[in-house]
Amino acid sequence: MSATPVTLIGLGPMGQAMVRTLLAAGHPVTVWNRTAHRADDVVAEGATLAASPADALAASELVILSLTDYQAMYDILGPAATALAGRTVVNLSSDTPDRAREAAAWAAGHGAHFVTGGVMVPAPMVGTGAAYAYYSGPRGVFEAHRPVLARLGAPRHLGEDAGLAQLMYLAHLDVFLTSLSALMHATALLGSAGITAAEAVSELMPTFTGIPAMLQAGEDIGPQIDAGEHPGHLSTVTMMGATADHIVAASGGAGVDLALPRAVQAHYRRAIADGRGKDNWTRIVDGIRTPRTAPAG
């Protein structure tokens, strides 16, 4: 039996990696990209360049999108929307859960099935054993395409709600981006004392990479948070809050940006103000769940 044809729209680093992975697995792949020359390499490797988005939709029942955001999907597929009927669109672009839900309704309105997803590895790792991706949307539609999607990375279906996969993707990126900013903040802080970035990053790396082991050496924090338990015998809110105060003061003294340390400090101050100073540091989750001031969008 010949391999399922796939259309892939969007040829940034991620889209190109997915095309190569699908070609290597024997799938006929049709591509389209706004900037046509970005297709040159994958066409040389066996992909077929469609003349238009409508032609790209016509080429395969399964259409994968790898775009900067969901607006790009409307920009590309909006004028070709009549060609969506009967297609399954798997949008692997980043955006908010609400935009993913709106897009699912939009696609359904044009007679297309819609699955949203997020690939959890950088482009060079697509198709490797380390790759995995979250999906959400109609389970039957997802299951029908699971074998093809599994080429890209281990697929995990989270549920029918189109927003779920985006939420999980963004939750991962929340940890990732905040951690990267913390690493750069600490690098700038050390730089204020003449320590080079090369030295700083090297010194900081054990903390950066050691956090999982530190968490596992303590309690199993997830179930405890679910149970509303925050036993404070290791790292209390008060102790961590004092350190957060010191980081803000040191950053101010060093003249580096205060936004990130002040945000961290605010989590601990809120828990202390709520009378939770003796609890484990995980207690800060309560204040994050119920901010006192309305969150700005």
Cα 233-239-240 angle, rounded to 5 deg: 105
CB 152 within 8 A of CB 126: yes
Nearer to ligand NAP, 68 or 196 (CB): 68
Among all residues, whose Cβ is closest to ligand NAP? 12
34 lies in the site for ligand NAP, by CB under 6 A = yes
Interface residue with ligand NAP, options 5, 12, 138, 191 (CB under 6 A): 12
265 lies in the site for ligand NAP, by CB under 6 A = no
Beta carbon of residue 113, minimum distance to ligand NAP (angstroms, whole number) = 20
Closest CA to 228 of 268, 282, 277, 275: 282
Cα→Cα distances 223→102, 122, 226, Å: 33, 30, 5
Which residues are 32's β-sheet partners? 9
Count of other CB atoms within 10 angstroms of residue 60: 21
Phi-psi region of 63 (alpha: psi -120 to 50; beta: other; left: phi over 0): beta
Distance CA 150, CA 226 (A): 32
38 lies in the site for ligand NAP, by CB under 6 A = yes
Cα→Cα distances 224→174, 217, 218, Å: 22, 14, 11
Residue whose token pair is 């995995």: 132
Question: For the chain, what is the largest distance between any 2 Cα atoms, rounded to a whole number of angstroms?
Answer: 68
What is the contact mask toward ligand NAP in residues 98 to 127, using x (rule: CB under 6 A)? ---------------------x--xx----
With 0-12 CB in 10 A as exposed, 13-18 as middle and 19+ as buried, what is 95? buried
Interface residue with ligand NAP, options 6, 8, 14, 42 (CB under 6 A): 14
Distance CA 109, CA 258 (A): 47
Nearer to ligand NAP, 93 or 282 (CB): 93
Nearer to ligand NAP, 179 or 207 (CB): 179
Nearer to ligand NAP, 120 or 200 (CB): 120
Beta carbon of residue 42, minimum distance to ligand NAP (angstroms, whole number) = 12
152 lies in the site for ligand NAP, by CB under 6 A = no
Count of residues of this chain found to bind ligand NAP when the rule CB under 6 A is applied:
22
Considering only residues 50 to 89 of the shown chain, the ones binding ligand NAP according to CB under 6 A are 66-68, 72, 75-76
Contacts of 247 (CB under 8 A, 6+ apart): 261, 264, 265
Contact window for ligand NAP (CB under 6 A) among 30-38, 53-61, 156-164, 191-199: 30-38
Phi-psi region of 127 (alpha: psi -120 to 50; beta: other; left: phi over 0): left
Contact window for ligand NAP (CB under 6 A) among 10-18, 48-56, 180-188, 233-241: 10-18
30 lies in the site for ligand NAP, by CB under 6 A = no
190 lies in the site for ligand NAP, by CB under 6 A = no
Beta carbon of residue 184, minimum distance to ligand NAP (angstroms, whole number) = 19
Nearer to ligand NAP, 77 or 186 (CB): 77
Interaction site with ligand NAP (CB under 6 A) = 10-15, 33-35, 38, 66-68, 72, 75-76, 92-94, 119, 122-123
